[in-house]
Amino acid sequence: MFEFSRHKKASIRGPVVEGLGYFGTDEAMARLEEVLTGDGNAEVRAAAARGFGIAKRPESAALLPKTVEEDRSTTVRTACLAALKAIERDE
């Protein structure tokens, strides 16, 4: 699965990246962070944010507010806010 999170096609990377949230492992959270901060495709970055929301691991979500402030994509910022809300509801 991790291999496909690096696929050249965003249409493949996005769903795979979002699905990493269901794993919730440290390795999955690290990959979500890599994607959220470094992928060139806004839809894939948004999928990473949704993955954080699925995992609901507060310690892994510290990056989300920073991304809300810094990412130029409304899609990514909105996904980060939704993920933060999901994490807060679970606490």
Q: What is the per-residue pLDDT for 61?
A: 75
- Which class for 24: exposed (0-12), middle (13-18), buried (19 or more C-beta within 10 A)? middle
Q: What is the per-residue pLDDT for 25?
A: 95
What would the pLDDT profile of 43-67 be if each residue is shown by its tens digit?
Answer: 999 999 999 999 999 987 789 999 9
Q: What is the per-residue pLDDT for 91?
A: 67
Low-confidence stretches of the chain (pLDDT < 70) are: 91
- Whole-angstrom distance, CA of residue 53 vs CA of residue 65: 13
Rg over alpha carbons for the chain, rounded to the nearest Å, is 11
> CA-CA distances (angstroms) from residue 29 to 18, 39, 42, 74?
11, 15, 18, 22
Question: Per residue in 31-41, is it b (16+ CB within 10 Å) or e — as a string?
Answer: bbbebbeebeb
Q: What is the per-residue pLDDT for 80?
A: 97
